[in-house]
Structure 1
Amino acid sequence: MDIATSLGLLCGVAVVSTVILMGGNLEMFVSEHAFIVIFGGSFAATLIRFPLTSMLHGLPLGAKFAFTMRRMTQRDLVDELAGIADIARKQGPVGLEKVEVEDPFLAKGIRFVADGYDTSFIRDNLERDRDNFLTHLDEGQKIYRAVGDCAPAFGMIGTLIGMVQMFANMTDPSKLGPFMAGALLATFYGAALANLFCLPIADKLHLKLVDEEINRTLIIDGILMIREAKSPALVREMLLAYLPEKHRHSGEEEEGAGEAVAA
């Protein structure tokens, strides 16, 4: 689980709820008028912007990856691929049949090598898989950003509708308060939905999209080198280029320390 996303959302809800309770109660901030305008209007506008299939793919995938974290870091991937290369060099492709890994994409690449598929097939299949996944993840972040853009605008629409209703009932003072409250709550709902949920989720998905692109490209390059029977040392050295400079040096220092201890 991505603790940052969950913790940030909980903190945001807690802050808003605390401020609300300090000046009244939650019932004051419940408005069917505002709810319909914000959620119904934002969904309708987003549905116009994107195909239905994109929304069916993007929304659940985006929600899943916004609240989950990749189990393996890039450093872990480099180490694991180097270990797999060592197994393949000593036991041959057949030895990879017993290798178990957590990452499904990496497991798929290992299976291709173990089954003896040629390099071009492995590259084309894995790159297609990567590109399709990144496309759906990109759709997810675009959809959440679109909802975040629409929500404040529909909040203003709800406010204008509420004010029109209020001015149309000026002769009945008992209706002025509810209409005004509903008008302001529409703006509140739109701002809260956009700035507390949709736009932060879209930004988080964009970062994870970039991270997943690097990780999956790293896996593809590692699998292809294993298929070509490259040495574990070469595989590690080539894949370290994907890591930030400081992480490359830390890995080399750890290896040097291990060799010194062994000596």
Structure 2
Amino acid sequence: MDILTLVGLIAGVLIVGLAMLANASLLTFLNLPGLAIVLGGTLAVTLIKFRLPGVMEAFKLAFSAAFIDKVERPASLIREVGTLANVVRKDGVLGLENHQTGNPFLRKAIALCVDGHTPELVEDALAQEAQQTVERYDVAERVFRGIGESAPAIGMLGTLVGLVQMLNTLDDPSSIGPAMAIALLTTLYGAFIAQLIALPLADKLQLKAEDEARNQLLIMTSVQSIMRGENPRVMTELLSSFVHPDQRSGLAPQREG
């Protein structure tokens, strides 16, 4: 689990909540019609901009990216593919058939190699899979950036609606203050959704997409090296560029007995 995302979200909500409650009650900041305008309007704009399957996939990916840290570390992948290279040198490509891995992309690469496909076909299939992954993350990121752009604008629209309603009751001066506060709450809701939820999730999706792309490139590079019959230690040395210099010790593959 990506604990930092949860900590950041709780801390952000807590800080804003405490500031709101410093000199007022929670009910002061609760306005159901204004909240409905912001949530409903933002959802409507999002559905206009994007297709429903893309929106649903975006929320699924955002939850996974924000709270489930599934991306493997490059050093771990390098050690694993180094072991695979040793197996191929000893037993041939069919020796990979019984290898179990938790990485779906590497699992697909192994299956393609074991099935006896040409290196060119394996490379094309993996490149297409990587491109589809990039596109899924890109759509999800754009969905949440769109929400981050739309929510404040819809909040401002709700504020304008509230101001119009307030101006219609100018004959009662005692109602102006409360009406103005209610009108401004929609802007608050929009800013809250954008700055504490949507835009941070968009940035997290971008980061996860970069991590996935890096790992997939590492796997494609290693598979090409394995199919060319390169020495595992030479391959590991080339792949070490994916890892920070301070973390390159211990990357050499272990030979399987």
- Output the TM-score relative to the length of structure 2: 0.90
Partner of 1:225: 225
Deviates more, 1:224-233 or 1:206-215: 224-233
Does residue 251 (structure 1) correspond to residue 248 (structure 2)? The answer is: yes
Partner of 2:129: 129
Structure 1 residue 151: deviation in Å?
A: 1.1
Q: Deviations over 1:24-83 (max 9, x none)?
A: 322222211221221111122222222333223323223322322234201111111111
Deviates more, 1:229-238 or 1:52-61: 52-61
The DSSP-based 3-state class of the residue aligned with 1:19 is helix
State whether residues 62 and 137 of structure 1, in contact with CA within 8 Å, keep that contact through their aligned partners in structure 2: no
Which runs of structure 2 are paired with 1:208-219 in the superposition (5 Å)?
A: 208-219=208-219
The DSSP-based 3-state class of the residue aligned with 2:70 is coil
Whole-angstrom CA distance in 2 between matches of 1:133 and 1:41: 30
Whole-angstrom CA distance in 1 between matches of 2:230 and 2:70: 27
The DSSP-based 3-state class of the residue aligned with 1:22 is coil
Which runs of structure 2 are paired with 1:21-170 in the superposition (5 Å)?
A: 21-170=21-170
Q: Structure 1: state its 5+ residue gaps.
A: 259-263
Whole-angstrom CA distance in 2 between matches of 1:125 and 1:140: 23
Whole-angstrom CA distance in 2 between matches of 1:201 and 1:165: 35
Structure 1 residue 126: deviation in Å?
A: 1.2
Whole-angstrom CA distance in 2 between matches of 1:181 and 1:34: 11
Whole-angstrom CA distance in 2 between matches of 1:30 and 1:87: 63
State whether residues 81 and 235 of structure 1, in contact with CA within 8 Å, keep that contact through their aligned partners in structure 2: no
Structure 1 residue 106: deviation in Å?
A: 1.0
Partner of 1:184: 184
Partner of 1:13: 13
Counterpart AA for 1:160: L
Counterpart AA for 2:59: L
Structure 1 residue 208: deviation in Å?
A: 1.6
State whether residues 96 and 110 of structure 2, in contact with CA within 8 Å, keep that contact through their aligned partners in structure 1: yes
Q: Deviations over 1:114-143 (max 9, x none)?
A: 222221221111111111111011111111
Whole-angstrom CA distance in 2 between matches of 1:178 and 1:22: 18
Q: Structure 2: state its 5+ residue gaps.
A: none
Whole-angstrom CA distance in 1 between matches of 2:67 and 2:179: 37
State whether residues 144 and 199 of structure 2, in contact with CA within 8 Å, keep that contact through their aligned partners in structure 1: yes
Identity %: 35
Whole-angstrom CA distance in 2 between matches of 1:45 and 1:11: 29
Distance 1:197 1:59, change over 3 A: same
Deviates more, 1:131-140 or 1:232-241: 232-241
Partner of 1:261: none
- Output the TM-score relative to the length of structure 1: 0.88
Structure 1 residue 173: deviation in Å?
A: 4.8
State whether residues 79 and 251 of structure 2, in contact with CA within 8 Å, keep that contact through their aligned partners in structure 1: no
Counterpart AA for 2:108: K
State whether residues 93 and 115 of structure 1, in contact with CA within 8 Å, keep that contact through their aligned partners in structure 2: no
What's the RMSD between the two structures over aligned residues?
A: 2.1
Structure 1 residue 19: deviation in Å?
A: 2.0
Structure 1 residue 177: deviation in Å?
A: 4.6
Whole-angstrom CA distance in 2 between matches of 1:103 and 1:121: 20
Whole-angstrom CA distance in 2 between matches of 1:236 and 1:255: 7
The DSSP-based 3-state class of the residue aligned with 1:80 is helix
Deviates more, 1:172-181 or 1:195-204: 172-181
Q: Deviations over 1:131-171 (max 9, x none)?
A: 11110111111110111011111111111111110110122
